[in-house]
Amino acid sequence: MISNKLVSIVLPAYNESENIIKVCSEIDNIFKKINYSHEIILVADGCTDNTMETIQHLIVNNNHVFFIEFSRNFGHQLALKAGLDHAKGDCVISMDCDLQHPPELIPELLKEWETGFEIVYTIRLEDKKLPFAKRISSNLFYKTLNSLSDVELETGSADFRLIDKKVISVIRNFNENEPFLRGLFKWMGFKQTSIEYAPCPRQFGKSKYSVKKMLKFALQGVTSFSIKPLYAATYIGFTLSILSILYVPYVLYAYHSGKEVSGWSSTIITIVFFGGLQLIILGIIGIYIGKMFMQVKSRPNYIIRSTNIKE
Ligand code: UDP
Ligand code: MG
């Protein structure tokens, strides 16, 4: 029996010209073996290599391949969001285009979907070959996020998931300036399940997440999901004020007993410590104000330079 369900595959791509052809052909091969039709949406996120030329070649003979070209680099999350906004399928599968998310998992995702799950996310098993720093930072990322925000994310739940069109129509109305999709989907509810997979090494090129980008992503993850850091700042403030009140009797005692005040180093340490602390707390407040500022302007979240998708 031929199923006439359409599956959209969304692939964000930032300078991935070497990977695109390979990932598309692997996806096509998978769909030859299963009874679904499919479309591929490549989102070129401000590429500076010849990703766009590669895509132009690809679409000549493949009328199931679509592209969205951003006017500049808007980042992985917004590239994904753009793909979801334009997908026409009965469900959407988002994955990286460096083949770290194995296309062989697509039939399994679809199987779970057919049993009634509306979001099927994947959990990456720990990859021993990954650089030590990347593994540690990834673990730390999920631990911090879970303790500081109100959503619970499993370690290794990346942006490789299947989403039903019901959920897609809800997420389209989200107008977050800095969406943190893995948290948002978890937060949305619906019937969710997960499957595990062993990650593959990146096919070509380097990771597009520098340490700076990862740090920014982690901060965005926490601050777009919770205001707990603001509370933490308040608690730290209170604790330190109480501690400093406790210090007063000692100061008075030292004054009255005529002890030599030789406290240059303790003064400096206190100034430096509290100076730093205040800056940190101001920074935390600043991040939230910055987020409000960006959101209040309600600029479009991403700008499309060209596309072959017809509305
Ligand atoms: N990506 C993107 N915009 C960016 C950074 C990354 O669209 O600014 C894409 C990238 O092309 C890839 C996916 O997001 O398809 C994941 O990026 P990457 O593989 O570099 O991250 P890692 O797997 O190292 O965490
Ligand atoms: Mg990757």
Answer whether 74 contacts ligand 1 (Cβ < 6 A): no
Q: Given a cut of 90, is residue 87 above it in pLDDT?
A: yes
Ligand 1, residue 45: give the atom nearest the CA: 7
What is the per-residue DSSP string for 53-72? HHHHHHHHH-TTEEEEEESS
Identify the residue whose C-alpha is closest to ligand 1 atom 17.
208
211-230 pLDDT, tens digit each: 777 778 778 877 877 777 77
231-256 pLDDT, tens digit each: 777 778 778 777 777 777 777 787 77
Answer whether 288 contacts ligand 1 (Cβ < 6 A): no
Q: Which long-range contacts (CB under 8 A, 24 or more apart) does 280-287 make?
A: 280/233, 281/233, 281/236, 281/237, 284/229, 284/230, 284/232, 284/233, 285/230, 285/233, 287/219, 287/223
167/190 Cα distance (integer angstroms): 8
* Residue of higher predicted confidence among 189 and 208: 189
Q: What is the model's pLDDT at position 2?
A: 57
Q: What is the model's pLDDT at position 265?
A: 67
253-292 pLDDT, tens digit each: 877 777 656 676 677 777 777 877 787 788 788 888 888 8
Answer whether 97 contacts ligand 1 (Cβ < 6 A): yes
Q: Given a cut of 90, is residue 167 above it in pLDDT?
A: yes
99-117 pLDDT, tens digit each: 889 999 999 999 999 999 9
Give the residue, out of 23, 54, 72, 96, with the most ligand 1 atoms within 8 A of its beta carbon, to mutate for a pocket test. 96
Mean pLDDT within 132-137: 75
198-215 pLDDT, tens digit each: 877 777 777 777 777 777
61-75 pLDDT, tens digit each: 899 999 999 999 999
Burial bucket for residue 72 (CB in 10 Å: 0-12, 13-18, 19+): exposed
User: How confident is the prediction for the chain on average, in pLDDT?
Assistant: 85
